[in-house]
């Protein structure tokens, strides 16, 4: 049995908003989705004459109103007031959010938004515990800069596999508009990359080649939300990639990536989709469908030339108030991917297997998780989870000489025979298991937990530490 870690430094880079929400609001009581809230009794549609905010200590009234998305001149009824309340709770800024109306003499109504702020910042350790990556670090996250819901995080980690420094900023209400989101992220990273065979039945796969990559990246994304559900975004990323010589003690010492001066990798990613998800008190509801296209070429100031196309499906379904079925499926197709951009499976992306055990340029994954309440001890809530992770990965565009070169002839990928040949061109793997999540009654996402996963292909059992984020 081995211990795996589900929150390396790269997890912080991908999901800043999720990370900040998961760690924000410590030491505040959690409202329950099933509680009765004093929304005004059933009423016909009434015109709003005034919107007031009560109870906010740190969050600015203008920010509360922006997230509520109700304004003077709008017409509201009971259903609309419930939607406003859910929008406020889904921000992760508030312990409680209650919406009511007060009748005015002229027949119109005053809408009252009553909220209770969470503590907005946290300093917490990060942990890496696995055979492939052992170490730790420190994270600082602020979820409500200046009372305007802006998020900032900085994390540093030192470990055997991934070490580096990350800084990120997210503005979910750019110019005070919840329809606009802006993020800026930077990262310095030293990454040890191990390559294994593509045989999923090996219970203790051997590291065939070990290479270290040093990188520095900067990225920025601008997102648009229309009709509350339609999302579109454009993300630009630029970075420097520097590959070092492979470990001479491993079986393969031929470099997977041409040694020499650092190369500039830049890309433009476009995304459009439908997103109706809301996370309310540890339960996620709603549907997310996305399509994305990423291009790297000299036209976007890159020394590489590759493409990625992706389809993403995520769905949260609530049962019996506090039970939650969370589904996630993803298809990604790559073309001419250099080594550092290849698709991977294993570890936090496929529990039961080694961290990044499988590599390819085409990948299909599906995860199903069922979260359910167990018991509570004063301010602590214990929840269980049962899960199944399934993935298929393959190479669909490898030259006969197993070399991929850039326009100048430099090798940007030297494939291992064990990873691109074999009886099965597609590697299919599955892991199943269960876990435990420990929640403080003030935290929307899991604070701490552990997963136990059984690899169906190999029969291996591995343990995963879960800290601060969910696998989905």
Name the stretches of the chain with pLDDT < 50.
2-42, 444, 469-472
The per-residue pLDDT for 120 is 81
d(CA 146, CA 169) in angstroms, rounded, equals 13
Contact indicator for 20, 136 with CB cutoff of 8 Å: no
Task: Give all domains of the chain, ordered by start, each with its CATH number.
Answer: 2-8+119-466 (2.40.160.50), 46-117 (3.10.20.310)
> Taking every pair of C-alpha atoms in the chain, what is the biggest distance, in angstroms?
83
Locate the DSSP E strands across 45-195. 46-54, 75-76, 94-103, 109-117, 121-129, 134-145, 150-159, 162-171, 180-195
The per-residue pLDDT for 143 is 86
Residue carrying structure tokens 């219970």: 203
Torsion angle (degrees, nearest 10) of CA 201, 202, 207, 209: -40
The per-residue pLDDT for 19 is 34
Tens digits of per-residue pLDDT, 200-242?
999 889 999 999 999 999 999 999 998 889 999 999 999 999 9
How many angstroms separate the Cα of 199 from the Cα of each of 4, 188, 204, 410, 427?
Answer: 19, 33, 11, 30, 7
Locate the DSSP E strands across 227-262. 230-243
The per-residue pLDDT for 43 is 54
CA 202-204-209 angle, 5° bins = 95
SS3 content of the chain, % helix, strand, coil (to 5): 10, 55, 35
Contact indicator for 411, 405 with CB cutoff of 8 Å: yes
The per-residue pLDDT for 30 is 34
Q: What is the DSSP string of 80-123?
A: HHHHHHHHHHHTS-EEEEEEEEEE-TTS-EEEEEEEEEPP-EEE
What's the token pair of residue 54? 């009560």
The per-residue pLDDT for 423 is 52
pTM of whole model > 0.75?
A: yes
């Amino acid at each position: 049995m081995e211990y795996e870690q589900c929150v390396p430094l790269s997890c912080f880079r991908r999901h800043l908003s999720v990370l900040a929400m998961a760690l924000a609001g410590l030491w505040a009581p959690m409202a329950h989705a099933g509680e009765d809230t004093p929304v005004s009794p059933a009423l016909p549609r009434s015109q709003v004459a005034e919107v007031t905010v009560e109870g906010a200590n740190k969050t600015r009234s203008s920010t509360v109103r922006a997230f509520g998305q109700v304004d003077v001149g709008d017409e509201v009824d009971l259903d609309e007031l419930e939607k406003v309340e859910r929008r406020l709770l889904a921000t992760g800024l508030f312990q409680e959010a209650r919406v009511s109306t007060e009748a005015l003499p002229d027949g119109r109504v005053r809408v009252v938004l009553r909220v209770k702020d969470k503590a907005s910042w946290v300093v917490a350790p990060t942990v890496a515990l696995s055979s492939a990556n052992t170490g730790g670090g420190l994270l600082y996250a602020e979820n409500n800069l200046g009372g305007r819901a802006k998020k900032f995080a900085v994390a540093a980690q030192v470990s055997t596999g991934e070490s580096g420094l990350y800084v990120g900023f997210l503005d979910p209400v750019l110019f005070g508009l919840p329809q606009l989101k802006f993020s800026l992220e930077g990262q310095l990273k030293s990454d040890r990359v191990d390559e294994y065979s593509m045989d999923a039945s090996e219970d203790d796969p051997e590291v065939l080649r070990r290479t270290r990559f040093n990188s520095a990246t900067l990225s920025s994304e601008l997102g648009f939300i229309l009709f509350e559900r339609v999302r579109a975004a454009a993300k630009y990323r630029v970075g420097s990639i520097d590959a070092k010589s492979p470990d001479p003690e491993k079986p393969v010492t031929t470099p997977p990536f041409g040694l020499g001066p650092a190369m500039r990798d830049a890309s433009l990613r476009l995304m459009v989709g439908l997103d109706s998800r809301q996370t309310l008190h540890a339960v996620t509801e709603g549907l997310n469908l996305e399509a994305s296209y990423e291009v790297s070429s000299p036209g976007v100031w890159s020394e590489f030339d590759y493409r990625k196309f992706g389809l993403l499906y995520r769905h949260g379904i609530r049962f019996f108030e506090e039970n939650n079925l969370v589904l996630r499926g993803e298809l990604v197709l790559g073309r001419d991917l250099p080594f550092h951009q290849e698709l991977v499976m294993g570890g936090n992306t496929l529990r039961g297997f080694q961290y990044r055990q499988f590599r390819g340029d085409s990948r299909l994954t599906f995860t199903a998780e069922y979260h359910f309440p167990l018991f509570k001890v004063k301010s602590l809530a214990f929840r269980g989870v049962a899960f199944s992770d399934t993935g298929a990965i393959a190479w669909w565009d490898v030259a006969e000489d197993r070399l991929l070169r850039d326009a100048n002839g430099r090798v940007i990928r030297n494939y291992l025979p064990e990873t691109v040949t074999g009886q099965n061109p597609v590697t299919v793997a599955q892991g199943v298991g269960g876990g435990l999540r420990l929640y403080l009654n003030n935290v929307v996402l899991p604070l701490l937990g552990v997963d136990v996963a059984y690899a169906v292909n190999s029969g291996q059992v591995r343990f995963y530490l879960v800290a601060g984020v969910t696998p989905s």
